[in-house]
Amino acid sequence: MSIRVDGLDAQIVELLQEDGRMLYKDIADKVGVSLPTVKARINRLMSLGLIKKFTVVVDSDKIAGKVRGVLFAKVSPTDTEALTRTLSKISEVRAAHFVAGEKQLFLEVEADDVESFNRLILERLPREAGLSDISAHIITQTVKEEYGVSLKANSFLQYKCNFCHTTIYGKPIVKHYYGGKYYFSGEECAEAYKGILDQKYSERKKTNTEG
């Protein structure tokens, strides 16, 4: 059976998206349920991975000299997981999306100044991430910016297996390995993926020891 969120879940998430610091008591008053119900619902949404984290949004327009832009780029044939790991280490890359079209990657980036922005495009991304044919556009004004997606009542949650990458129908098997949270379609996929992570961890540990 697929996992579905209801109207109460949607209301709670909408309130938290508006103000992540809102007290659970205030949320309970606004949606008309008890405080324990709000706590239970939020804990459930977090355990399902729908609420990824609570964070702070900084207004980049208030920081002098900050340059933000969007990039489209071609991706050399490569391991997508390796590319994802590389991009996650480049602090200037704030968001990365695989998209349909001739240029397969869409990035949202920021830099301290125009010189750093140009160096990121011309040197670092081609060298470190293997990107090519990069087209860059500096953002001159932001008229609207929302974070995350809107949640509607009766929405079904969708998961993909971290090992076989197939869509999971029903409740996923959730595992925590090496500080990460992963979703699987079955125990066989979970064990196989853990074996891969164990090997990578062992190799990394061996390299650090030898170094």
| Mean pLDDT score across all residues of the chain | 91
The whole-number pLDDT of residue 46 equals 92
pLDDT at residue 166, rounded to an integer: 93
DSSP letters along 109-159, please? EEESSHHHHHHIIIIIIIIII-EEEEEEEE----S----S----TTPBP-E
Spatial separation of the C-alpha atoms in residues 117 and 124, rounded to whole Å: 10
Residue 113 reports pLDDT greater than 70: yes
Comparing 7-16, 75-84, 101-110, 118-127, the range with the smallest average pLDDT is 75-84
Please tell me the number of Cα atoms within 13 Å of 83 on its side-chain side. Answer: 19
pLDDT at 67: 94
Under CATH, which number does the domain 1-57 receive?
1.10.10.10
**What does the alpha-carbon distance between residue 86 and residue 72 come to, in Å, rounded to a whole number?**
17
Residues 162-176 have pLDDT tens digits of 999 999 988 889 999
Contact 35, 28 (CB under 8 A): yes
Please answer whether residues 162 and 136 qualify as being in contact, where contact means their C-beta atoms are separated by less than 8 angstroms.
no
Is the pLDDT reported for residue 89 higher than 80?
A: yes
Domain residue limits, the chain: 1-57, 60-138, 158-211
Average pLDDT over residues 15-26: 94
Fold (topology level) of 60-138: Alpha-Beta Plaits (3.30.70)
- Asked if the domains at 1-57 and 60-138 fall in one CATH topology, the answer is no
Tens digit of pLDDT for each residue in 28-82? 999 999 999 999 999 999 988 899 888 888 888 888 889 999 999 999 877 787 8
Q: Residue 58: phi, psi to the nearest 5?
A: -95, 135
The Cα 159–Cα 2 span in angstroms is: 10
* 178-194 residue pLDDT tens: 888 899 999 999 999 99
Cα separation of 89 and 73, whole Å?
18
Going by pLDDT thresholds of 50, 70 and 90, the confidence category of residue 211 is low
Phi, psi of 12 (to 5 degrees): -65, -45
Mean pLDDT of 100-116: 94
Question: Has residue 6 got a pLDDT over 90?
Answer: yes
**Strand pairing category for 180-184 and 173-177:** antiparallel
Q: How far apart are CA 105 and CA 146, in angstroms?
A: 21
Q: pTM of the predicted model, to two decimals?
A: 0.73
